Structure 1
Amino acid sequence: MSSKRALVTLPSSASIDDILECLERDGGCIVKNMLKQETIDGLWADLSDVLDVAPNGDGSFVGRKTRRISGLFSRSLHMQELITQPQLYGAAEKLLCKPFKYWLDGVQHISIPALQMSLTQAIQIMPGEGAQPLHRDDIAHHRRHPGPDSQIQVLYALSEYTEANGATRVIPGSHKWDDDRAPTYEESVPAEMNVGDGLIYLGSTYHSGGKNTTVDKPRTAIATTLVLGYLRQEENQYIAVPRERVREFPERVQRLLGWSTNPPFCGWIEMRDPNYLVATDAALNTTAEDIL
């Protein structure tokens, strides 16, 4: 009898606390129907032509029969619904945005870190693709384990998402492992989902793309990541998303794309919150009071 722990699948009505309970125990969970059908249809309309001509990868990590396109906020306005999805954003905010205390001029202050976008990618695993190496996403920031988490990811299923066609493999509980313990494929379980479902998982959880053993069923997902605002974005959103496109999003999304400071004062321009530069190229001199 297998001793492997399966991932929990939560209903679409799951609360933030339900999700956090799974993240704490297992490092990830599936949430049903995270995306509306109109959002799914809009994403396919915006991305399918690009995916159809995207080249395959050139290594086992990116996949030799896997198509990837990035910079998705520059390609689809529907991406704002993916990153502000209430269950994803709420879980990330509650788990990651812990108060930080510091002293300044004899007064103790408290800052709450911001969240920002780190990565966007549409990933299409084609028939015949092998398994991706198991990995942790937070290696981009040289995180040490076990330790405080710095990012939360979601993989939204845009297609059938089964073990046969390459559903993401996850090792439940691996977010608690130290850095000397190696993951094995045999410890992983498939995150099988329906279209519109989402796999939410921690940056410290081992996972990988699965094998696609089908003849004609690609597996398509969109990956998005929320990371603490004082860390560098894995995908450089300032280059990936032109300012003209950034202006088309509401201010909340502009700030998630990085056009913001992280309290108390990380990411400023001319000692000022950079959000004003979405609408202008003029960098105005001001004082530190504007960002404290």
Structure 2
Amino acid sequence: MPELNHLPPTASAAEITACLRRDGYVIVDNLVSADTMDRINDELSPYVEETAFGSDDFLGKRTRRTGSLIARSETSRSLVAHPTILDVAGDYLSHASAFQLHLTQVISIGPGSPAQAIHRDELAWDFFEFPADYQVQCNTLWAMSDYTADMGATRVVPGSHLLGTDEKFSQEDSLPAEMEKGSVLLYNGKIYHGGGANTTTDKVRQALNITYAVGWVRQEENQYLSTPLEVARTLDDDLLKLMGYQMGCFAIGYVGDVRDPMSVVREDAGGYLGIDKMQSAAAREGSANTLMNLITDAAGRPA
């Protein structure tokens, strides 16, 4: 039986990104230790146990989806901000001015759960059809235990990110993303995939779903409400910016009277965002040049 592509934990961000561009996915083996995953499991177990099962077949009537990981699990923050993953996301989504954290979730597929429908994650944005060459997401699924086909390992249709939005696939068209605890599956928003069937009688398939998106789209998980402000104020600046406490692109993301969003959590980060600060906060060189051209063209004209 064919297998999905794997890379060693020593793989560079450039190698991982190349696989994403070519295949739409890649598995990096043992990127973090099993002990790290065990600590995350210990921190999140009380919340998972209180999470209700899904309300329909797509969410999974024997599947629990537990969010708010930044607020609930200090150890999980190291995965959200894993340097290799952030380097990959930054490169893969570099066509946008900025990228942001999109979702944090533990997905727990219980025994006897049927397979999820094969789908694309981009459907989250009201089924809008993004251009085929525009990547909106860079996603990860971290194995919290050994991740096997019979437990419901995520199934991937290799190369399907190059196809259209109306494709229909069955489970037989897909391959299981089998991997060891601490390994991670990276995949983009266009690849067709779905949770596998858990055919065991006593095992729960658990994975941390941490995803990133370009800075100008709405986040799937509302990071500002998922992490209370008193918790947000204890986090480092880089993580806060990743969560969305920064400009997502020029003129999107300020607060109040055109103020830096970091001013909400840092008293010394206040200040009004003029054109120069707004473009330098989140604009890549190309968009900044376009903005400056616009300012030059409009000089002397009434607002």
TM above 0.5, one fold? yes
Task: Choose which of 107, 118, 138 in structure 1 pairs with 2:122.
Answer: 138
| 2:13 aligned partner | 16
Tell me if 1:60 matches 2:57. yes
Whether the 8 Å CA contact 2:107–2:206 is kept in 1: the answer is yes
- Structure 2: which 5+ residue stretches go unaligned? 280-303
How many angstroms apart in 2 are the aligned matches of 1:261 and 1:7?
Answer: 37
Instruction: Return the offset for 1:246.
Output: 1.1
Whether the 8 Å CA contact 1:7–1:26 is kept in 2: the answer is no
| 1:169 aligned partner | 155
Tell me if 1:124 matches 2:108. yes
Whether the 8 Å CA contact 1:165–1:211 is kept in 2: the answer is yes
Give the letter for the 1:173 counterpart.
G
| 2:231 aligned partner | 245
Tell me if 1:82 matches 2:74. no
Task: Choose which of 251, 255, 271 in structure 1 pairs with 2:258.
Answer: 271
How many angstroms apart in 1 are the aligned matches of 2:194 and 2:98?
Answer: 28
Tell me if 1:42 matches 2:59. no
Give the letter for the 1:131 counterpart.
A
Task: Choose which of 135, 141, 166 in structure 2 pairs with 1:155.
Answer: 141
Q: Deviations over 1:206-234 (max 9, x none)?
A: 11000000111110001011111111101
Task: Choose which of 165, 170, 174 in structure 2 pairs with 1:184.
Answer: 170
How many angstroms apart in 2 are the aligned matches of 1:266 and 1:71?
Answer: 24
How many angstroms apart in 2 are the aligned matches of 1:280 and 1:41?
Answer: 36
Give the letter for the 1:259 counterpart.
Y
SS in 2 for 1:164: helix
Give the TM-score taking structure 1 as reference length.
Answer: 0.89
Q: When the two structures are aligned, how many residues end up with a matched partner?
A: 276
Whether the 8 Å CA contact 1:273–1:290 is kept in 2: the answer is no
Moved more, 126-135 or 140-149: 140-149
Moved more, 256-265 or 235-244: 256-265
Instruction: Return the offset for 1:154.
Output: 0.3
Instruction: Return the offset for 1:281.
Output: 12
Tell me if 1:229 matches 2:215. yes
Instruction: Return the offset for 1:285.
Output: 5.4
Q: Deviations over 1:163-211 (max 9, x none)?
A: 0000000001010001232222221100001100000000111110000
Distance 1:126 1:276, change over 3 A: same
Task: Give the CA RMSD over aligned residues.
Answer: 2.0
If each structure's strand is expressed as a fraction of its own residues, which one has the higher value?
1
If each structure's helix is expressed as a fraction of its own residues, which one has the higher value?
2
SS in 1 for 2:150: coil
How many angstroms apart in 1 are the aligned matches of 2:122 and 2:234?
Answer: 30
Instruction: Return the offset for 1:36.
Output: 3.1
Whether the 8 Å CA contact 2:151–2:199 is kept in 1: the answer is yes
Tell me if 1:114 matches 2:98. yes
Q: Deviations over 1:118-138 (max 9, x none)?
A: 111101111100001111111
Give the TM-score taking structure 2 as reference length.
Answer: 0.85
